[in-house]
Amino acid sequence: MDEVHGQVRAGRQAAWWLYLAAGAVVIVVYLLISADVRHLISPMVSASATVIILVVVRRKRPHLAAPWYLFAVGMALYTAADTLFGIYQFEGTAVPFPSPADALYLAAYPFFTAGLIALTTVQNRGLGWAGLLDAGIITLGATTLAWVFIMAPYLSSDLSALPLAVSLAYPLADLVLLCMAARLVLATGTRTPAFLLLTAWLCATLGADGLYYSTLATTGAPIAPEVSYTVWMASYLFLGAAALHPSLDRTPQLAEGGQAALSGPRLVLLILLALMGPVLLIVDAGEVRHQPVHVGFISAIVGCLTLLLVLRVTLLARYAQSQAGQARTRAQALERSLRDQTSLQKQLSHQAFHDPLTGLANRALLAERLEHVLSRPSAVGTTGLLLIDLDHFKDINDSLGHPVGDEVLIAVAHRLLGGVRQQDTVARLGGDEFAVLVEDLPSDGVCDYAQRLLGRFKDPFALSGERSVYVAASIGIVAIRELLPPAEALRDADLALYVAKDQGRNRAVMFEPSMSTAQQDQSRIAQDLRYALTRNELSVYYQPVVEMDTGETTGVEALLRWNPRGRDPIQPEQFISIAEETDLILPIGAWILREACLQGRRWHDQTPDRRALTIAVNVSGRQLKDPDFPETVTRILLETGFPASSLVLEITENVLIADVETTAAHISSLRSLGVRISIDDFGTGYSSLSYLRNLPVDIVKIDQSFVNTAAAKDTGIIQAILYLSHALGVDTVAEGIETSEQADRLRTLGCPHGQGFYYAEPMPAQALEQHLAAHPVPELRHPTG
Ligand code: C2E
Ligand code: MG
Ligand code: MG
């Protein structure tokens, strides 16, 4: 499409050049040939311009066709007039005055004028008063000249009415045309070649006319008429060329605003024109000074000119005012946008260094401050860094939703801010992790400072909707004792925080170098644990659970053992939590469950007497949260053929209580299979007996910390647990019985089942088989874990 368009344009451009060249040749021919025939050439040129305008405007349909049709009519009238004139010349007859040719010439003017008005008014919606005033001043200036040199002599001559009228009509028509031409030429904006050619046509026409009539009235003959004829012919050529030029389609965008402004040269021109009248009178040009009519007329023109100039200057002043107003508005807008930009910049830099939720400093700002503080030797002994992590915050998010979680974080931020001094920096590092950089430590030291902050968590946090939640926190503390990189200070605080969490949360722990070693050990354990299953390093030990009255083994607890290749055995307490963190507990937990069930099935099959033997398997909180867990248990029971009623799943009390809602569904679906649920380490978690009533469990395992002490308080607790369990129909196992005294005491208290080194230590399956041979399993009665 573009290509076709380009080709058409190129064609038109070529035609334009051809037309100009042909026109130039015609003019040369005109000048060379004899006088009687040369005047027949002129109508040919004007006819060509007429035809070109009509063809181009019809075919190209430019945006603005009307002015061009008007020009075409004017040119057609010129053609007719030139033809008549040429015929007179050719025939050698004197041209009568006025002749029909004059009528045709004069008839063309209104069309040209109308065309120009249409071009400036229709297309550009008027060029405004300024343009009109400028054109008016120019025209009036020219009028004084015309009056003095053309019209006054005609009026003083003895011409009869018709020749006089025709003689006056030419300059008058020219003046009107000049006014319109000036308006167009003075307009500012993009000037296309077509527009420039149109301007050239007007200048040539008016110039040739001016030259022709300048001496006609006074001397009776035009000065250099051949020059005027040639220029007229050139003017036709310009109009034709303007129509033919490809830029005709592009409308020149004439501007009004620029017109109101007054350039220096234009101002000088306007003043000179205004002075024209007085000067002509002073020098008595055309000898009109002694003729009162002419003096009066010229004075009237001068008066009009002055008025127009005053109006023009007023317009200029108004324009200057509006320009100044605009400049002021622009300056104000600029000032506003500068202000906006500055505040935006401030906002951005605030955002870059602050947490959007709480408004506290963010990790980047803390790092920067830490860097600054730790670069000064004075920081040693006076600076502390606290890393604060909310305990079980995930549970709040999970159970109450994220918006509530956000509210809690904001409330915590406020509490922390309320507990620190002005020189300290409180930051939110992300999630539920906060930090406080303490400078110029208070005299009671960083530990007391941390304890005070912990104390601020004692009261519940009030939330919207009259709700409130208790949130505890763990704190890792680093006291700066040597200048160290900020990253190391943060890492040490993190280790101390980890230990605080590990020690049961809701506490502040000071960093000690040994923690680094422990951390390295943990990393190594996490690394090695990945291969423990595939390298067959895991095994299962079984510890008997006995009936206290008879000493008979009613069940066994499966306990995980890990013997890493080339290293000492690692205790479950050391690696179970790591397995939970790394999610390795999922495959490991499934593995031990399968092993235990397979083994249980074997024992059941070996002797029918052992059918009552139960197997208890520990289940971690992470496993219980796994949506596939009930399915895994079902599948393993099916695959191994171990009866669900002989399987006990031990779940630590803390897990049960912290996640009642999420785990309750799993527990009930497991219980519906026939599997029993046991609360492990009962008494260590929330230690609230009332929980027993609501928990969907079958067995309670009293934690060994109550069992292997002789404290009266612990005995009381055991009694209460036993009493409540009995009332609720829940079975009880006492863990960690080490001595005969402990066993006797529990028996006396009425505890039905016990487990501990006193009866048997955890042992491999084979050893347990021998143990069972010596300690037979009782008849199928009420199996226990
Ligand atoms: P737990 O479930 O409470 O298991 C009882 C722990 O007490 C066992 O430690 C056992 O060896 C020990 N124990 C038994 N009798 C006595 C005694 O008379 N005195 C003393 N001081 N200790 C006794 P173990 O095997 O080291 O296991 C520790 C914990 O690791 C377990 O506590 C359990 O929470 C966890 N665990 C062990 N195996 C697994 C497993 O397969 N999966 C999961 N998730 N956790 C396991
Ligand atoms: Mg257990
Ligand atoms: Mg236990």
- Nearest residue CA, atom 45 of ligand 1? 618
Distance in angstroms (rounded) separating the CA atoms of residues 716 and 719: 5
SS3 (DSSP) at 438: strand
How far away, in angstroms, is 555 Cα from ligand 3 center?
15
Pick from 564, 553, 504, 503: nearest CA to 530: 564
Residue among 541, 705, 735 whose CB has most ligand 1 atoms within 8 A, to mutate: 735
What is the 8-class DSSP label of residue 361? B
Please give the single-letter amino acid code of residue 42: S
How far away, in angstroms, is 779 Cα from ligand 3 center?
26
Nearest ligand by distance to the CA of 681: 3
Burial classification of residue 543, based on how many CB atoms lie within 10 Å of its CB (0-12 exposed, 13-18 middle, 19 or more buried): buried
Pocket around ligand 1: residues whose beta carbon is below 6 Å from it? 543, 559-560, 571-573, 576, 589, 592, 618-620, 650, 680-681, 704, 735-738, 756-757, 762
Distance in angstroms (rounded) separating the CA atoms of residues 167 and 205: 17
Nearest ligand by distance to the CA of 543: 1
Please give the single-letter amino acid code of residue 229: Y
How far away, in angstroms, is 557 Cα from ligand 2 center?
7
Please give the single-letter amino acid code of residue 407: E
Which atom of ligand 1 sits closest to the CA of residue 572? 30
How far away, in angstroms, is 23 Cα from ligand 2 center?
114
How far away, in angstroms, is 506 Cα from ligand 3 center?
22
Q: Are 239 and 52 a contacting pair, CB within 8 Å? A: no
Pick from 150, 147, 209, 217: nearest CA to 178: 209
How far away, in angstroms, is 564 Cα from ligand 1 center?
19
Q: How far is CA 52 from CA 242, 247, 335, 574, in A?
A: 10, 15, 56, 102
CB atoms within 10 A of CB 73: 20
Share of the chain above pLDDT 70, in %: 93
Distance in angstroms (rounded) separating the CA atoms of residues 285 and 295: 11
Please report which residue ranges of 125-247 form alpha helices under DSSP H: 128-146, 152-156, 161-186, 193-214, 216-219, 225-244
- Nearest residue CA, atom 34 of ligand 1? 618
pLDDT over 80 (residue 191)? no
pLDDT over 60 (residue 785)? no
Q: What is the pLDDT of residue 554?
A: 95
pLDDT over 50 (residue 260)? yes
Nearest ligand by distance to the CA of 703: 3
Residue among 559, 575, 576, 578 whose CB has most ligand 1 atoms within 8 A, to mutate: 559
Pair of tokens at residue 15? 């035609």
- Nearest residue CA, atom 8 of ligand 1? 559
Pair of tokens at residue 142? 């020219």
pLDDT over 90 (residue 675)? yes
What's the whole-number mean pLDDT along residues 764-785? 76
- Torsion region of 734: left, alpha or beta (phi above 0 gives left; psi -120 to 50 gives alpha): beta
Distance in angstroms (rounded) separating the CA atoms of residues 654 and 660: 10
Residue among 576, 584, 650, 738 whose CB has most ligand 1 atoms within 8 A, to mutate: 576
How far away, in angstroms, is 425 Cα from ligand 3 center?
43
CA 690 to chain CA centroid, nearest Å? 54
DSSP β-bridge partners for residue 547: 753
- Nearest residue CA, atom 17 of ligand 1? 736
Residue 634 has phi, psi (to 5 degrees) of: -60, -45
What's the whole-number mean pLDDT along residues 467-491? 93
| Residues within 5 A (CB) of ion ligand 2 | 618, 650, 680
Which atom of ligand 1 sits closest to the CA of residue 755? 15
Q: How far is CA 649 from CA 279, 310, 555, in A?
A: 122, 107, 12
pTM over 0.95: no
Nearest ligand by distance to the CA of 620: 1
How far away, in angstroms, is 776 Cα from ligand 1 center?
23
pLDDT in tens, 626-668: 889 999 999 999 999 999 999 999 998 777 666 666 677 888 8
pLDDT in tens, 54-95: 998 888 776 778 889 999 999 999 999 999 988 888 888 777
CA 566 to chain CA centroid, nearest Å? 57
How far away, in angstroms, is 457 Cα from ligand 1 center?
33
Residue recorded with tokens 């029971």: 637
How far away, in angstroms, is 703 Cα from ligand 3 center?
6
Q: Are 474 and 505 a contacting pair, CB within 8 Å? A: yes
- Nearest residue CA, atom 22 of ligand 1? 736
Q: What is the pLDDT of residue 460?
A: 92
CB atoms within 10 A of CB 580: 17
Which atom of ligand 1 sits closest to the CA of residue 650? 2
Distance in angstroms (rounded) separating the CA atoms of residues 26 and 285: 40
DSSP β-bridge partners for residue 651: 619, 679
DSSP β-bridge partners for residue 425: 437
The per-type count for the chain, helices as H runs and strands as E runs, is: 31, 17
- Quote the crossing angle between the two packed helices 128-146 and 161-186, to the nearest 10°: 140
Pick from 658, 758, 742: nearest CA to 705: 742
- Nearest residue CA, atom 35 of ligand 1? 572
CA 169 to chain CA centroid, nearest Å? 70
Which atom of ligand 1 sits closest to the CA of residue 559? 38
Distance in angstroms (rounded) separating the CA atoms of residues 414 and 395: 21
Distance in angstroms (rounded) separating the CA atoms of residues 545 and 536: 27
How far away, in angstroms, is 559 Cα from ligand 1 center?
6
pLDDT over 50 (residue 230)? yes
Which atom of ligand 1 sits closest to the CA of residue 560? 38
Residue 512 has phi, psi (to 5 degrees) of: -130, 145
Which atom of ligand 1 sits closest to the CA of residue 758? 18
Distance in angstroms (rounded) separating the CA atoms of residues 615 and 648: 6
Nearest ligand by distance to the CA of 759: 1
CB atoms within 10 A of CB 775: 17
Q: What is the pLDDT of residue 153?
A: 85
Residue 399 has phi, psi (to 5 degrees) of: -90, -35
pLDDT in tens, 731-761: 999 999 999 999 999 999 999 999 999 999 9
SS3 (DSSP) at 476: strand
Pick from 401, 508, 517: nearest CA to 463: 401
Distance in angstroms (rounded) separating the CA atoms of residues 537 and 526: 14
Q: How far is CA 405 from CA 392, 408, 410, 468, 497, in A?
A: 11, 5, 9, 12, 21
∠ CA 21-27-33, nearest 5°, is 130
Q: Are 680 and 653 a contacting pair, CB within 8 Å? A: yes
Give the strand pairing for 553-562 and 425-430. Answer: unpaired
∠ CA 654-655-658, nearest 5°, is 80
496 contact partners, CB below 8 Å, separation of at least 6: 387, 475, 476, 477, 478, 509, 510, 511, 512, 515
- Nearest residue CA, atom 33 of ligand 1? 618
Pair of tokens at residue 783? 């199996």
pLDDT in tens, 281-321: 888 777 777 788 888 888 898 888 888 888 888 888 888 88
User: Average per-residue pLDDT in the chain?
Assistant: 88
Residue among 529, 556, 618 whose CB has most ligand 1 atoms within 8 A, to mutate: 618
- 782 — pLDDT class (breaks 50, 70, 90): very low
H-run or E-run covering 462? strand 461-463
Nearest ligand by distance to the CA of 678: 2
pLDDT over 90 (residue 22)? yes
